[in-house]
Amino acid sequence: MLITNQQFSRNSISQWKNLWEVNKGKSRVQWFIDDLYSADFQAEKDAAIYLGEMGNGKAVPALRAKLNDPQIDSKLKIYVTEALKKLLKNKR
């Protein structure tokens, strides 16, 4: 089960510990919502895909906000739109 898209080297135990300490109280959905605002395009893309697949409506406001972000990458916009479509379709 994937929890986050954060990438650290295998030798970066302290980075993983710090990430866990800061985020251990967050839900899996919130971890991916946070990844929507990563500096890494791949992490943002994967987060959008996973949020759409997870089917949790709590992601809808964050995906809408990302879609309305004037700085959003045009390629990422496609993934965010698809995720929203999946989530809104499941609400019916």
Alpha carbon separation from 45 to 1, 50, 64, 76 (Å, rounded): 17, 9, 15, 6
Please report the DSSP string for 47-81 in residue order: HHHHHHHHT-GGGHHHHHHHHT-TT--HHHHHHHH
Pairwise pLDDT comparison (17 vs 38), residue with the higher score: 38
Query: Cβ-count burial of 42 within 10 angstroms (0-12 exposed, 13-18 middle, 19+ buried)?
Result: exposed
The pTM of this model reads 0.78
The answer, yes or no, to whether residue 91 has pLDDT greater than 60, is yes
Sorting pLDDT into bands at 50, 70 and 90, what band is 9? low
Q: How far apart are CA 46 and CA 78, in angstroms?
A: 12
The answer, yes or no, to whether residue 1 has pLDDT greater than 50, is no
Question: pLDDT tens for residues 41-85?
Answer: 999 999 999 999 999 999 999 999 999 999 999 999 999 999 999
Pairwise pLDDT comparison (47 vs 16), residue with the higher score: 47
